[in-house]
Amino acid sequence: MALNIKLKEAFDVEKQYGAFYTGGNICWTSDGNQFLCLENNKINVVDIDSGEVVQKIAAPKEGEEDVEEDAIYCFDLSSDDETVITAHKSGLLKLWNKLDGEQVKVWKAGHKGPIPRVVFRSKGGIVASGGSDSTVRVWDYEKKSCLSALRGSQGVVSLVVFHPDVEKTFIFGSGDDNKILCWNYVTKDLKHTFTGHYSKVTSISFCNNYLVSVSRDKVLILWDILTATQKSVIPLYEALEGVVVLPKIGKLPNGFNLESTEHKDHVFAAIAGESGKIKVWECTGSKIVYSQTDSFVSKAEEEGGLAITQLLHCPKTAQLTVVTADHNILVHNISTFFCSKQLIGFSDEILDICFVGKKSRYLAVATNSNDIKFYDTTNMNCQILKGHTDIVLALSSHKNFLMSSAKDHTIILWEVDPGTFKVRCLGKGTKHTSSVGSVAFGKVSHTICASVSQDTCLKVWNIPKTFEDDQEEILSLECKATQIAHEKDINCVTMSPNDQLLATASQDKTAKIWSSSKLELLGIFKGHRRGVWCVRFSPVDQILLTSSADSTMRLWNIADNTCLKTIEGHEASVLRAEFITKGLQILSAGADGLAKVWTIKTSECNTTLDKHEAKIWTVCVNSEETHFFTGGADSQLIKWKDVTEEKKIKEIEAKQEEILQEQELYNLLAQNKTLKALRLALRLEKPFLTLKIINSVIKDGQGGQELETTIGSLNELHKEKLINHATSWNTNSRNCRPAQLVLNILLNEVVANEFRPQGLSKIVEETIPYTERHFKRMTEYLKDLQFIEFTLRSMQPHKSNKQALMEIDEDDQ
């Protein structure tokens, strides 16, 4: 049976998920399909459905060096989704075409110091910038002229908003004095000053003649814009970061009807802040009408979510988006407040990953955080699992059950509902006294689980067979057995295919096998020179695989604890290793940033995958072994696809095509169709046949004229290949004549600027030494001929010069 198993030899990157948002403001396109996010010194355009970066703005193009960085402080998107403006560290404002990412305009902003805010007016080619010099400047970006410099604020002006009614030339700004100022940017008059907040004003929103503002003083204020008076002041008991006035359309999830006639003159505003939840207030009557209860996350998260730093509204899709403090982006439908999409803008170091559910649909990721990121791999929608109080270190799964372990000395059992993508926390184990570095579910049943810790203990846990659907309390998991397993930290634990054995790997340079029922020691495996990072049972044989910090992997015979084979190839610690292809191959990942696939029988590396920029902590293979994920210290989550069969099919097709073309080439040569044969030989990269054709042209043409005509009929690509072939021919003295003739013709075209090959300087550098050698040899040959001629003339003076030359020619022949 093993003979029919096809080995895996080639993998390609199918998807690569990395950071696309590292802080700052976010813009939402008017159609609700894309986000614009700031990542370090570039703007990423992210497709919401796929979660992928589809475009980059203000980023160096491929092949270009990133010259002196001019950091982007902030940016904004025009209402027609066509133009992006950025404010830079250099004090420049730059305008970009969003469709192609090309820079359109650039001008000096005139502010003294950083520019924390830039905004577009909805129409009219006007932008405004708020500076740290207490001024707001309004610009006509078509003419790159400053229309007005508005003063009155104090400190850094971090909030700048145009009035949404384009007929009104009002602009609002707020600085460190906690006041909201309203100017007429055409007349440059200060119209109103809104005084009432006692801390930084973070967001404002408009509704007809009303203005709603929120601040970090935990207060919402409804203002009358015409009189700059307070209509209502609502204490909200949390620092607020965003406010959006909701349109009076539809109902809220609790049944409250926003479009009821009795609410005709009321103002409804959604607010968000440090509590991490969205609330809707009826501002006119100072009454809360809805408070979000996040049923999308686990029970362990009921106390509150992550602090919200930004609240966005898309009228077209009737959705709200919140941006959290740890760079997560959540999209909510207003009618249900259900989180329809969650994107992870930035993940820290990826410590562990594992598939969960039928056909490996879900992916759990531990990212140097207290929370677990749980993805639906069909669309990479994500939710956050909260429950641990310290960094999650390891993950393991069995069908729809997930087990996690963390530095908080605990393990937690989770269950996913495949139909609704809901995950609930079922139980918690708290018997360890130090960080729990690894956890393993049984392969046959979920009722057994093992964990290991820095306290050097190995524990086996009993898991209930069934759980109640309406279970609200988190169960305390029962520890079945405990054993002090190693002398130092234990790095890994794994379960055998039949759940009868356990294997552990430790920093004490050993691996050990235990019975899973009573934790009896059955074998010790010694031989590694440094700590053992990973241990795995073969799925088909009585073999144990270990990987170590000594840069090697070892295969052990479980029966007698002997080492069967040592596999070397990584240049640093081998952090993870997995059996694949029914136990015939090994997939390994190392601190050298490389993933490798090995064939056990030959100990050879079939392929090396080099996409990570730092150590790879973890790998995870799906149940069908068609894909696997890698994650590491570079925060990159990479999905690899097995393309072995595709590659073989392409190689066979290419070989068949090459055979047909070679046959066609020989047919053209037989028919004396020199030009077509030359073109085909160049396309097939056949230097010897090309040389043969060139010699034939030289011979038939009785000189260089015919050759020059033939080469002149070639296109640029063919000429480039020909000059490379000629450079290669030139290294051999037997082929120097055709090489020199070809080089002479093509280089004359270069001088005439008719032909410009890539790498011309390299071609010239490679050609000159051999050409000089050929010239020197021919010069010596001519000297010898002249000497022979002189000698013959001296020996036969009575003969005429003509007769002597004829004899010389006969001798040469």
| Token code pair at residue 767 | 């050609």
Whole-number pLDDT of residue 302: 39
Q: How many residues are recorded in the chain?
A: 813
Q: How far is CA 695 from CA 679, 722, 730, 734, in A?
A: 15, 13, 14, 12
- On the question of pLDDT at 807 being above 80, the answer is no
Q: Is residue 518 left, alpha or beta, with left meaning phi > 0 and alpha meaning psi from -120 to 50?
A: alpha
Q: Coil, strand or helix: which one is 620?
A: strand
SS3 content of the chain, % helix, strand, coil (to 5): 20, 40, 40
Mean pLDDT of the chain: 87
Mean pLDDT score, 605-613: 92
User: Widest CA span of the chain, in angstroms?
Assistant: 135
Cα separation of 152 and 142, whole Å? 27
Kindly compute the dihedral angle of the four CA atoms of residues 506, 511, 517, 518, in this order, to the nearest 10 degrees: -80
Whole-number pLDDT of residue 805: 54
Between these two residues, 189 and 722, which has the higher pLDDT value? 189
- Distance of alpha carbon 269 from the chain centroid: 36
Exposed (0-12), middle (13-18) or buried (19+): which is 565, by Cβ within 10 Å? middle
* pLDDT tens per residue, range 570-580: 999 999 999 99
Phi, psi of 782 (to 5 degrees): -65, -40
Strand partners, 319: 314, 333
* pLDDT tens per residue, range 481-527: 999 999 999 999 999 999 999 999 999 999 999 999 889 999 999 99
Between these two residues, 88 and 721, which has the higher pLDDT value? 88
Span between the terminal Cα atoms of the chain, in Å: 71
Cα separation of 100 and 45, whole Å? 11
Mean pLDDT score, 538-548: 94
Strand partners, 189: 184
Between these two residues, 7 and 2, which has the higher pLDDT value? 7
Mean pLDDT score, 758-773: 82
Cα separation of 706 and 586, whole Å? 60
Cα separation of 726 and 704, whole Å? 15
Whole-number pLDDT of residue 806: 62
* CB-CB neighbours of 298 under 10 Å: 24
Q: Give the list of residues 6+ apart from residue 219 with CB closer than 8 angstroms, or none.
A: 196, 197, 198, 233, 234, 235, 236, 240
Asked if 598 and 588 count as a contact pair (C-beta separation under 8 A), the reply is yes
Cα separation of 309 and 307, whole Å? 7
Q: Coil, strand or helix: which one is 652?
A: helix
- Distance of alpha carbon 284 from the chain centroid: 46
Mean pLDDT score, 641-670: 83
- On the question of pLDDT at 626 being above 60, the answer is yes
pLDDT bin (cut points 50, 70, 90) of residue 305 is low
- On the question of pLDDT at 292 being above 60, the answer is yes
Whole-number pLDDT of residue 217: 92
Whole-number pLDDT of residue 2: 44
Q: Choose the weakest-confidence range: 100-104, 636-640, 781-785.
A: 781-785
Kindly compute the dihedral angle of the four CA atoms of residues 552, 558, 559, 561, in this order, to the nearest 10 degrees: 40
* pLDDT tens per residue, range 389-439: 999 999 999 999 999 999 999 999 999 988 888 899 999 999 899 999 999
DSSP 768: H
Q: Coil, strand or helix: which one is 675?
A: helix
Between these two residues, 554 and 286, which has the higher pLDDT value? 554
pLDDT bin (cut points 50, 70, 90) of residue 808 is low
- Distance of alpha carbon 441 from the chain centroid: 30
What share of the chain has pLDDT > 70, as a percent?
Answer: 93
Whole-number pLDDT of residue 452: 95
Whole-number pLDDT of residue 62: 53
pLDDT bin (cut points 50, 70, 90) of residue 301 is very low
- Distance of alpha carbon 772 from the chain centroid: 51
- Which CATH number is associated with domain 352-642? 2.130.10.10
* pLDDT tens per residue, range 16-53: 888 889 888 999 999 999 999 998 889 999 999 888 88
Nearest residue to 161 via CA among 277, 224, 243, 46: 243
* pLDDT tens per residue, range 327-379: 889 998 888 878 888 888 888 899 999 999 988 899 999 998 899 999 988 88
Whole-number pLDDT of residue 298: 36
Give the residue ranges of DSSP H helices in 686-759. Answer: 687-701, 705-712, 716-729, 736-751
Highest mean pLDDT among 609-618, 690-699, 734-743, 767-776: 609-618
Q: Give the list of residues 6+ apart from residue 173 with CB closer than 8 angstroms, or none.
A: 130, 136, 150, 153, 157, 159, 160, 161, 180, 181, 183
| Token code pair at residue 35 | 């986000």
Give the right CATH number for 19-195 from 3.40.190.10, 2.70.50.60, 2.40.100.10, 2.130.10.10: 2.130.10.10
Nearest residue to 319 via CA among 304, 308, 330: 330
Give the residue ranges of DSSP H helices in 588-683. Answer: 644-670, 674-683
| Token code pair at residue 689 | 């046949």
Asked if 374 and 360 count as a contact pair (C-beta separation under 8 A), the reply is no
Asked if 270 and 288 count as a contact pair (C-beta separation under 8 A), the reply is no
* pLDDT tens per residue, range 163-213: 998 888 999 999 999 999 999 999 999 999 999 999 999 999 998 889 999
Cα separation of 108 and 156, whole Å? 19
Whole-number pLDDT of residue 244: 93
Cα separation of 380 and 50, whole Å? 7
Cα separation of 285 and 279, whole Å? 15
Angle between helices 674-683 and 716-729 (to 10 degrees): 80
Strand partners, 354: 364
Strands across the sheet with 339-344, in order? 308-314, 319-324, 328-333, 339-344
